[in-house]
Amino acid sequence: MSWPARLIIAGTHSLFRECLASMLYKLGRFHVTHHTDDLESTLDLVEEYQPDVLVIDLNGSGEAATELVRGTRKQCPQVKIIVLGQCNSETAILKCIEAGAGACVSKESSLEELCRVIERVLNGEAIYSPQIAYSMFARLAELSRERARSERVEALELTPREMEILQLIAHGLSNRHIAEQLALSVYTVKNHVHHILEKLHVQDRREAVEHAYARHWLRPQRVAER
């Protein structure tokens, strides 16, 4: 890219935006082409002027900041996004990161620190404070727990008989052999298999077995020989 880097600053506080734009301009490395308090129309500016970096002040921006990040990532994926937040704006910062922001900078940071982050983001790095990084990992852990809970609920939706049949399918038994082993009719086994596929939202027996193994519902065993 060519220097000075072109920036657009979006935020609800005019004095903050104007001061930041002026200070960045004086450094000679950055050129703020626009700064605006209308986050809902900022995406139009980004699409028209294609800046190198979009800086978003989260203070007072609400959900509009998250939508701006999401829209920019979709419409102008080459534009780097930095969000500025305070220690009490962790939730808003995490939402913006999930939407695609490449860096977050505390508003308590120095201008020099912001400049370093801008330069590193332009070099393709993702920059997050230790506190935000910790919160991100905590959020990932919570999502993992939620997924595990969802999978346990999904497993409970299968009846004991369906789990038994799924295990026998994993062993390689056909419907006829399952029926013989469980003293059921082939028709009944077919109905159970149909219900298993329907509950797991899979297309065939192989997918059902892979689905179950991936969630550790079944213990891997050697395929039964018939």
**pLDDT tens, residue by residue, 168-201:** 999 999 999 999 999 999 999 999 999 999 888 8
Judge whether residue 224 has pLDDT over 80.
no
Q: What percent of the chain shows pLDDT beyond 90?
A: 46
Q: What is the mean pLDDT of the chain?
A: 84
Confidence of residue 155 (pLDDT cuts 50, 70, 90): low
Judge whether residue 67 has pLDDT over 90.
yes
Judge whether residue 86 has pLDDT over 90.
no
* Tokens 């905590």, residue located: 138
Look at residue 82 in the predicted model and tell me its pLDDT: 94
- Going along the chain from its start, the domains and CATH numbers come out as 5-138 (3.40.50.2300), 157-214 (1.10.10.10)
Q: Residue 212 contacts by C-beta under 8 Å, 6 or more apart in sequence?
A: 166, 170, 200, 218
The reported pTM is: 0.59
Confidence of residue 144 (pLDDT cuts 50, 70, 90): low
Among the residue ranges 49-53, 143-147, 205-209, the one predicted with the least confidence is 143-147
Look at residue 225 in the predicted model and tell me its pLDDT: 42
Nearest CA to 132 out of 173, 169, 84 is that of 84
Distance of CA 33 to the CA centre of its chain: 30
Residue with the larger pLDDT of the pair 52 and 211: 52
Look at residue 49 in the predicted model and tell me its pLDDT: 93
Confidence of residue 95 (pLDDT cuts 50, 70, 90): confident
Judge whether residue 131 has pLDDT over 70.
no
Judge whether residue 143 has pLDDT over 60.
no
Look at residue 35 in the predicted model and tell me its pLDDT: 92
